[in-house]
């Protein structure tokens, strides 16, 4: 076992070589307060200080990366657990999901009557809504049409946008000829921007005034059964 004098000598030697306190303590296991007392007058060269600074930066970056990975792992674990809580959906489940989607994002029925119209930029939401139209409302594909709402800055990628929505919906690209151009700038807070920007897709159902009225009735039925009083 090293004597205190030898330990001190060894600690000073390592410090003069540019070792950090933590690195010295690995070689000379003494109390940190003792080490500070031994090394307080030991100066470092500019090169040695630069090495320690770089080491601290690398350590900070490693720590940040580790924390980031920990957040990713926790997030994925929560998502996986939540996904397992959703079992096979019944037609009744799909029925209720579609009503809620339309309540949030659909075109509401007016006094003189309005067609069913649903718009969103989320491809998964569009797919679920189309599934709801076909399987719950028994709407045929021939009665479904589309309109793309796109900012003018994305005009160069119009063909790509049409193909994107064709892939999402399963409809041929020719189904997406109707385009409404938006002049205002894209909201930079949105995730679907730049190369990931494909505009908003609006889904229309032909001859659907009465279906829209029925959907409003379903929404009112949900409110009534949830004890929500209509003002």
Task: With respect to residue 171, please indicate whether it lies within any of the assigned structural domains.
Answer: yes
CA 160 to chain centroid, in Å, comes to 23
Same domain, 105 and 215: yes
Task: With respect to residue 211, please indicate whether it lies within any of the assigned structural domains.
Answer: yes
Same domain, 61 and 124: no
Report the distance separating Cα 42 and Cα 53, nearest Å. 17
Query: What average pLDDT does the chain have?
Result: 87
* pLDDT class of 215 with cuts at 50, 70, 90: very high
Same domain, 45 and 114: no
Same domain, 42 and 116: no
Report the distance separating Cα 23 and Cα 17, nearest Å. 11
Q: What is the CATH number of the domain that holds 118?
A: 3.30.1330
Task: Please indicate whether residue 192 or residue 113 has the higher confidence score (pLDDT).
Answer: 113
Q: Is the pLDDT of residue 16 over 80?
A: no
Domain range for 108: 91-225
Same domain, 55 and 96: no
Beta bridge partners of 205: 144
Q: What is the pLDDT of residue 187?
A: 55
Q: What is the pLDDT of residue 56?
A: 76
Most confident stretch, 4-8, 40-44, 108-112: 4-8
Same domain, 54 and 130: no
Is pTM beyond 0.85? Reply is: no
Task: With respect to residue 166, please indicate whether it lies within any of the assigned structural domains.
Answer: yes
Q: What is the pLDDT of residue 151?
A: 94
Q: Give per-residue pLDDT as tens, 97-110.
A: 999 999 999 998 76
Q: Is the pLDDT of residue 156 over 70?
A: yes
């Amino acid at each position: 076992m090293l004597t205190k004098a030898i330990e001190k000598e060894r600690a000073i030697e390592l410090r003069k070589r540019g070792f950090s306190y933590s690195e010295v303590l690995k070689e000379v296991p003494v109390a940190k307060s003792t080490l500070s007392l031994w090394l307080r007058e030991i100066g470092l060269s500019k090169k040695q200080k630069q090495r320690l600074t770089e080491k601290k930066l690398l350590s900070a970056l490693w720590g940040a990366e580790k924390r980031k990975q920990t957040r990713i792992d926790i997030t994925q674990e929560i998502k996986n657990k939540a996904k397992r809580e959703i079992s096979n959906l019944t037609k009744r489940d799909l029925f209720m999901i579609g009503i809620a989607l339309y309540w949030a994002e659909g075109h509401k029925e007016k006094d003189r009557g309005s067609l069913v119209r649903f718009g969103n930029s989320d491809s998964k939401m569009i797919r679920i809504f189309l599934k709801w139209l076909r399987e719950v409302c028994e709407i045929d594909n021939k009665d479904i049409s589309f309109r793309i709402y796109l900012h003018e800055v994305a005009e160069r990628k119009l063909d790509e946008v049409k193909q994107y929505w064709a892939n999402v919906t399963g409809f041929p690209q020719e189904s997406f000829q109707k385009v409404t151009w938006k002049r205002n700038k894209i909201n930079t807070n949105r995730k679907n921007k730049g190369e990931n920007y494909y505009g908003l897709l609006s889904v229309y159902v032909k001859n659907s005034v009465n279906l829209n009225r029925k959907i409003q009735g379903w929404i009112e039925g949900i409110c009534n059964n949830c004890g929500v009083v209509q003002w």
